[in-house]
Amino acid sequence: MPTLAEVLEAQTIEAAPELVESIDRNRLRCHACGHACPIPDGASGVCRVRFNRGGILYAPYGYVGGVQCDPVEKKPFFHAHPGALAFSFGMLGCDLHCSYCQNWVTSQALRDPQAVALPKETSPAVLVAEASRLGARIVVSTYNEPLITSEWAVAIFKEARAAGLMTAFVSNGNATPRVLAYLRPWVDLYKVDLKSFDDRHYRQLGGRLEPILSTIRALHGMDIWLEIVTLLIPGFNDSADEIDRLTSFVASVSPDIPWHVTAFHKDYRMNDPDNTTPEMLVSAAELGRRNGLRYVYAGNIPGRVGDFENTRCHQCRALLIERDGYQILQYRLTPAGSCPKCGTRIPGRWSSAFEGQISAAPFVPAILRLRQL
Ligand code: SF4
């Protein structure tokens, strides 16, 4: 019986040349994520899914660790085709090791023997055909860290674009200039998880703050729609000082970037902090708004965060989109994506009209049967 690592090693292709640099006779540098690992022949990078064999860097390809259809609000994107179905796929592995990860079964599959995720063989054509059949408007690389599996995402996104679908990354943002340039032609929407504004906290998670901030600045300068999420963890990143600095930074890049502050619940190896309360979320959201952010949302405790689930015009405060959790209750934007009351252009990627909602709850596609590896 092959190990998971052996199974995944076979599911690879040669990495994109844009993401590889030769350092010397024995080592390659991978530029798929901010670690920029120097990898000797026979070794793998920090993520354990990209490796050097005989002077060639290999990258994951040809399988999924999971597929699910989510409302786009779950990713979360609140300013991109509200109500759309987001066909979401993930592979295995991550470049960080957050102790509170809510996707740890897939992200930590190669590090933690308790994370038992079964990869299934598939192709871009099969996934995109299924997304189209289900009425999805967006195809999303998510669940594991998509940067480390960028080649696979780009292959699927090329197929998705040809089928008239949009594409998205749900990512920790630990990118490099090279990988962003590689992704830029193929990614429409990008969610960055800004986990903290303290480099020491990032180091506890296995990363650094600066590459994430650079990614946010770079994405804002590209034609990619960006939204940012912060999971508010009591005692870890929820001090007023840290939220003040974090939201001031986002507002300094652009006050139009939507910022979602979401509630922590005990998960994986982080069981000490209490769960985030609605009051904590609202307090952080209000601080973000005071710091100049125009579109602030308090997530995943529906019905208990007041108006912070809804979108209002930043100019006249007219209600534009009313939500209850992932469900769209009202949609009032004009066909041009403007406020119907004062005419202010609302930043985002909007349809000419609300196109309804196939599902306000996630579901696993029933017909998609893939061969387990
Ligand atoms: S994706 Fe990141 S962690 Fe993985 S090998 Fe490349 S630089 Fe290292």
| Tens digits of residue pLDDT in 5-39 | 888 899 999 999 999 999 998 999 999 999 999 99
Strand partners, 191: 170, 227
Q: Residue 90's pLDDT is what?
A: 95
Mark out the alpha helices in the chain (DSSP H runs): 4-10, 104-107, 124-133, 150-162, 177-183, 199-204, 209-220, 240-253, 278-290
3-state secondary structure of 143: coil
Distance CA 247, CA 229 (A): 11
Ligand 1 atom closest to the CA of 174, numbered from 1? 2
By alpha-carbon position, which residue is closest to atom 7 of ligand 1? 36
Q: Residue 269's pLDDT is what?
A: 66
The answer to whether 308 and 319 are in contact (CB under 8 A) is no
3-state secondary structure of 355: coil
CA of 29 to the centre of ligand 1 (A): 9
Sequence-ordered list of residues with C-beta below 8 angstroms from that of 17, at least 6 positions apart, any chain: none
Distance CA 321, CA 145 (A): 30
Q: What is the residue type of 31?
A: H
The answer to whether 280 and 308 are in contact (CB under 8 A) is no
Q: Residue 6's pLDDT is what?
A: 87
Question: Half-sphere exposure (CA, 13 Å, Cβ side) for 283?
Answer: 13
Beta-strand pair 27-30/51-53: unpaired
Q: Is the CB of 148 under 6 A from ligand 1?
A: yes
Tokens of 133: 């059949």
Give the residue carrying structure tokens 């405060």.
317
Candidates 210, 175, 214; CA nearest to 36 is 175
Q: Is the CB of 36 under 6 A from ligand 1?
A: yes
Q: Is the CB of 30 under 6 A from ligand 1?
A: yes
Q: Which of 8, 18, 37 to mutate to test the pocket of ligand 1 (most atoms within 8 A of CB)?
A: 37
Q: Residue 113's pLDDT is what?
A: 73
Q: Residue 224's pLDDT is what?
A: 97
> E strands of the chain, at which residues?
12-14, 20-22, 27-30, 38-40, 51-53, 56-60, 63-64, 66-71, 85-90, 120-121, 138-141, 166-171, 189-193, 225-232, 259-263, 296-299, 311-312, 319-324, 327-331, 371-372
Segments of the chain with pLDDT less than 50: none
Q: Residue 215's pLDDT is what?
A: 98
Sequence-ordered list of residues with C-beta below 8 angstroms from that of 99, at least 6 positions apart, any chain: 204, 205, 268, 269, 270
Sequence-ordered list of residues with C-beta below 8 angstroms from that of 147, at least 6 positions apart, any chain: 32, 33, 95, 169, 171, 172, 174, 175, 179
Tokens of 176: 């490099």
CA of 218 to the centre of ligand 1 (A): 19
Q: Is the CB of 50 under 6 A from ligand 1?
A: yes
Q: Residue 161's pLDDT is what?
A: 98
By alpha-carbon position, which residue is closest to atom 1 of ligand 1? 148
Q: Is the CB of 95 under 6 A from ligand 1?
A: yes
Q: Is the CB of 175 under 6 A from ligand 1?
A: no
Quick one: which H or E segment has residue 35?
Answer: none
Q: Is the CB of 37 under 6 A from ligand 1?
A: yes
Ligand 1 atom closest to the CA of 57, numbered from 1? 5
Q: What is the residue type of 333?
A: L
pLDDT tens, position by position, 72-130 = 999 999 999 999 999 999 999 899 988 888 777 777 777 777 766 789 999 999 999 99
